[in-house]
């Protein structure tokens, strides 16, 4: 089956949805689908290439910054993008479309895709990785969601429940949740020898490592709460080390955003110094290939988000590596972590998170048997529920189902 995938960006651009696609799409190819991606152009990348079996087409019409600029200039976004979508669909004989997070901002672009597919009788699904985009027009998002996609596909039950609550008029049968999946061969437990080698490589010998695998942009991921918790953990385990994977970085080159990011990073540094944790908090500058290795060698992975987390891949990656995880009771994370079995769930109250987080980390550090048991159970849960092969199969089956319904002349949940 020929499946068209539409998203704003694709590696070498790195982000949550981008890495999800980079993981899942080659698996769909492995399972027999032909996959074609339409995404934004990237300097230094080819306009057309095959990456891990996936056909990638890059064009300027999918560039987020281009679209914003064209909108300011009053250009006809609908016509510009519809021509590109029509060409993409026809040239590749696309039989079903999966649009990932295309409900963010640009209504005319989404409408152009919708019309291009409808003219060719191609079924469309909107895969929803996030249902909230702070600072953007929420009503515009809902206009896109309500265009009439054949399926709305949240990646967590939390997203589905939240959207149904906010828009009860949308028929429940239009939703089809497909839970996230990860590469459980990339994220897997390391042997003792491998751990020793990796700890030496990263300079973590003799440390009890707590990994917080989130970029330190803003305060939504509990950066302050995690740092404050380490002050308490340090009292019992002086050798503890909290590892952040990277600092906040500006998304644009604007002077204002650069200044805000610099101020944010300076605040974090001063906060660490104020608590006397300069030797207990490490802010790395790691690339994506480092993340599985860092996850394998940590003693505990934390993700103390203090806002709704749509799903949270990092805790699942921790479980897949056989590592106990501690998360807040936030959004989709309660669908992956089993409290007291694969790790701990603490309350999301930003004033109480630090104390509870510290208590759970100390328990994990103090009880090796419990930590090992949580690691084993976490790995088993990742294998049973969150394997990328299951998610790829679910996506392919969904596309086939939608296409079969159209062939039989039935309207598909529109």
342 vs 311: CA distance, rounded Å? 16
Note whether 366 and 292 are same-domain residues.
yes
pLDDT of residue 373: 98
316 in a domain, yes or no? yes
Note whether 245 and 329 are same-domain residues.
yes
Among 83-87, 215-219, 222-226, 341-345, the range scoring the smallest mean pLDDT is: 215-219
In the chain the first and final C-alpha atoms are separated, in Å, by: 22
365 in a domain, yes or no? yes
Note whether 393 and 359 are same-domain residues.
no
How many angstroms separate the Cα of 353 from the Cα of each of 233, 236, 302, 366? 13, 18, 12, 20
Range of the domain at 363: 192-385
Query: Over 90: is that where the pLDDT of 221 sits?
Result: no
414 in a domain, yes or no? no
308 in a domain, yes or no? yes
Query: What's the pLDDT band for 307 if we cut at 50, 70, 90?
Result: confident
Any idea which residue has 């839970």 for tokens?
A: 179
Query: Over 80: is that where the pLDDT of 289 sits?
Result: yes
413 in a domain, yes or no? no
Closest-CA residue to 36 (of 118, 91, 73): 91
Note whether 171 and 244 are same-domain residues.
no
User: In this structure, how many other beta carbons lie within 10 angstroms of the beta carbon of residue 374?
Assistant: 25
237 in a domain, yes or no? yes
pLDDT of residue 259: 81
320 in a domain, yes or no? yes
Task: Give 201-234 as a 3 state SS string.
Answer: HHCCCCCEEEEECCCCCCCCCCHHHHHHHHHHHH
Question: CATH number, domain at 276?
Answer: 3.40.50.2000
Among 182-196, 217-231, 254-268, the range scoring the smallest mean pLDDT is: 254-268
Note whether 98 and 175 are same-domain residues.
yes
196 vs 297: CA distance, rounded Å? 8
Note whether 113 and 13 are same-domain residues.
yes
**Polymer length of the chain:** 414
Note whether 269 and 216 are same-domain residues.
yes
Note whether 109 and 226 are same-domain residues.
no
Note whether 173 and 252 are same-domain residues.
no
Query: What's the pLDDT band for 412 if we cut at 50, 70, 90?
Result: very low
167 in a domain, yes or no? yes
pLDDT of residue 260: 79
Structural domains in the chain (count): 2
Note whether 97 and 200 are same-domain residues.
no
Average pLDDT over every residue of 61-89: 92
Note whether 56 and 128 are same-domain residues.
yes
Note whether 354 and 217 are same-domain residues.
yes
pTM of the model: 0.87
């Amino acid at each position: 089956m020929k499946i068209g995938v539409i998203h704003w960006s694709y590696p070498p651009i790195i982000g949550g949805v981008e890495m999800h696609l980079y993981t899942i799409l080659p698996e769909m190819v492995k399972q027999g689908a032909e996959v074609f991606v339409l995404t934004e152009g990237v300097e230094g990348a080819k306009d057309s290439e095959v990456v891990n079996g996936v056909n990638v087409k890059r064009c300027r019409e999918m560039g987020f910054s281009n679209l914003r600029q064209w909108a300011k200039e009053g250009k006809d976004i609908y016509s510009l993008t519809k021509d590109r979508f029509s060409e993409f669909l026809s040239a590749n004989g696309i039989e079903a479309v999966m649009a990932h997070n295309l409900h963010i901002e640009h209504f005319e672009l989404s409408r152009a895709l919708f019309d291009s597919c409808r003219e060719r009788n191609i079924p469309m699904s909107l895969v929803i990785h996030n249902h909230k985009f702070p600072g953007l027009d929420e009503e515009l998002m809902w206009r896109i969601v309500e265009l009439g996609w054949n399926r709305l596909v949240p990646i967590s039950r939390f997203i589905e429940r939240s959207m149904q609550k906010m828009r009860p008029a949308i028929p429940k049968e239009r939703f089809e949740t497909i839970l996230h999946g990860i590469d459980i061969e990339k994220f897997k437990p390391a042997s003792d020898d491998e751990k020793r080698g990796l700890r030496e490589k990263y300079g973590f010998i003799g440390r009890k490592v707590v990994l917080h695998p989130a970029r330190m942009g803003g305060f939504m991921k509990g950066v302050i709460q995690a740092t404050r918790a380490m002050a308490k953990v340090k009292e019992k385990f002086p050798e503890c080390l909290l590892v952040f994977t990277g600092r906040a970085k500006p998304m644009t080159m604007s002077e204002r955003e650069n200044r805000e990011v610099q101020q944010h990073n300076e605040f974090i540094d001063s906060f660490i110094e104020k608590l006397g944790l300069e030797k207990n908090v490490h802010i790395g500058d790691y690339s994506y290939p480092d993340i599985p290795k860092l996850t394998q060698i940590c003693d505990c992975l934390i993700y103390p988000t203090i806002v709704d987390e749509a799903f949270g891949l990092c805790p699942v990656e921790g479980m897949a590596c056989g590592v106990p995880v501690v998360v807040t009771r936030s959004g989709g994370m309660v669908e992956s972590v089993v409290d007291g079995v694969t790790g701990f769930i603490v309350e999301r109250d930003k004033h109480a998170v630090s104390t509870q987080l510290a208590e759970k980390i100390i328990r994990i550090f103090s009880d090796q048997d419990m930590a090992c048991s949580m690691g084993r159970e976490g790995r088993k849960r990742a294998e049973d529920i969150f394997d990328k092969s299951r998610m790829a199969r679910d996506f392919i089956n969904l596309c086939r189902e939608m296409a079969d319904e159209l062939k039989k002349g039935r309207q598909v949940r529109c």
